[in-house]
A and B are shown apart, each in its own frame.
Chain A
């Protein structure tokens, strides 16, 4: 049993070299390294530019003649300081964090239960519901925000965090359910049968057997859902009007631009600080992230 599985694990590592050894180094440099370097540079440059602008004093931001624009000569924290103490930025950060965390939690609980019912309890019509959930994932927020605005207004939720907490699960639940269904499918059903024979109830099985085995899947779904909520824009723009209730993406775009004067320093500081939490979270869970991204597509 162990021998073939070790071979199977080792095989891709050996095979991935493939015929690579046939290609000479100069050829590799031209066909692989240079194009790769150019693409990676283009993909990362906007973040570099964001960071450099954040730490520049104003005379450097608007003067490319006397200062090298690609570097900061005299770094300053003035832009960040202005952001944290002269604007509602801390409140936006708090709102975003709160909404993203609660919406993710609600979505994960609802999705785990739904995915378990569809995948394992196999009630009549489970397949149809599974398909419907996939189709729900294809409904974009841009066609829902107008009717949702009237519903949010009708429930008297306008301009509150609760409006976002209740509407974000509409795009999180379909995604998470789809992901968890795929994950539950990969857990051997025999484990549950054993427990059933020993007289465990379904809830006990879910809680004590299936869920502990699904932790990687739960983490994947959780961080992906968290990032999607952090990223959300159109609902937050439509359902929130007062500055202190806004989320980071909406706040930065709508409150930091005063008339025709763009304070690029603090705008970039806002963009940088708003990106950091997701970037840090992502850096810890890259593998989970990639697996949830590709897992959603593969099914």
Chain B
């Protein structure tokens, strides 16, 4: 390291230009420039533009005029939009509950002393790595009406009499896409929570056990409170990504049957891109923002406060 440092010093050029470039403020501006430009142009600006488009009647190939709240008023009388809001809330709530229940369970299982632990952890993360659309297509095939392997196996075991119509009936279709979403979300939850579990010192459990705490009490009063900070962050991310999910629905059902699985994101896409109604689509997308802010605040601060009440430290 010392030689590197000396080399660096020797190479220094004493020109005026170099000194300007070395000024922290000048350098900060230059360093922030690429990221700042890309994010402003393709993230901040579109975010604002999207909100603006929601107040216009823009169509593909035709600039729109400002029409005030007309898009939102018509959406409030639109049964399909209201159904999509209901679907999104249902999808997010049910999927999140299952993801966290099974994910936490898997994390606790993986936190045991196991043979091939590193290998197990690696393969558990696979559903998260593989492109969502591609695994969604595999689910689509497993949910096939005639050739579903799930139905076939259940019939063979004598659990059901005839093949399940996974994607044909509204509630069955909802359950099927939620199951696929849970499948994809478990690894993320499990691996993040496992990282949290590994930071808990085993001596805490030993001390509690010596004091006569049961396994449930140890889980409830040691594992849960220590895991709370990481849990709140993982929950925030999970809720956010489930609420705005698009790929899985688009690949498996495209919103069908009779709009039973349309989420707000897929409806926004359908109205805006194939339908050409950019303004209306943007209004649907913008309508997601209040939900997102509320969900984020709820899952983040809701759990943070619990952590503080239980006597945890403020980070």
Binding site for B on A (CB under 8 A): 12, 15-20, 28, 32, 35-36, 39-40, 42-44, 46-47, 49-50, 53, 61-62, 64, 69, 106, 109-111, 113-114, 116-118, 121-123, 126, 129, 133, 136, 138-151, 166-167, 169-170, 173-174, 177, 191, 194-195, 198-205, 208-209, 227, 230-231, 233-234, 237-238, 248-250, 252-253, 262, 264, 267-268, 270-271, 274-275, 278-279, 282-283, 286, 289-290, 293-294, 297-298
* Pairwise interchain contact A201-B21, C-beta atoms closer than 8 A: yes
Q: Which of B118, B124, B241, B247 contacts A43 (CB 8 A)?
A: B124
Residues of B within 8 A of A18 (CB): 202, 205-206
Q: Which residues of B contact A (CB under 8 A)?
A: 1, 4-9, 11-12, 18, 21-22, 24-25, 27-36, 38-39, 41-47, 49-50, 53, 58, 102, 105-106, 109-110, 112-114, 118, 120-127, 129-135, 137-139, 141-142, 144, 146-147, 149, 152, 183, 186-188, 191-192, 195, 198, 201-203, 205-206, 209, 230, 233-234, 237, 240-241, 244-247, 250-251, 265, 268-269, 272-273, 278, 281-282, 285-286, 288-289, 292, 296
Tell me, rounded to whole Å, the shortest Cβ–Cβ distance linking A224 to chain B.
10
Q: Once the chains bind, are B131 and A209 in contact (CB under 8 Å)?
A: no
**Residue contact A143 to B288, C-beta cutoff 8 Å:** yes
Contacts of A248 in B (CB 8 A): 131, 134
B279 to nearest A CB, angstroms? 9
Chain B residue numbers with a CB within 8 Å of A279 are 126, 129-130
Q: Assuming the A-B contacts A35-B109, A129-B32, A151-B45, are A146 and B278 also in contact, with contact meaning beta carbons closer than 8 angstroms in the complex?
A: yes
Name 20 interchain pairs, CB-CB below 8 A, sorted by A.
A28-B112, A113-B31, A114-B34, A117-B31, A126-B28, A138-B296, A144-B50, A145-B269, A146-B272, A149-B272, A198-B6, A208-B4, A233-B131, A233-B132, A248-B131, A262-B141, A262-B144, A274-B134, A293-B192, A297-B233
**Contact in complex: A233, B4 (CB < 8 Å):** no
A143 to B125 CA separation, bound complex (whole angstroms): 27
Q: Which of A147, A205, A283 has the most CB of B within 10 A?
A: A147
| Contact pick for A199, options B12, B192, B240, B247, CB 8 Å | B12
Say whether chain A's binding surface is mostly helix, strand, loop, or mixed: helix
Instruction: Give the residue among B6, B58, B123, B130 with the most A Cβ atoms within 10 A.
Output: B130
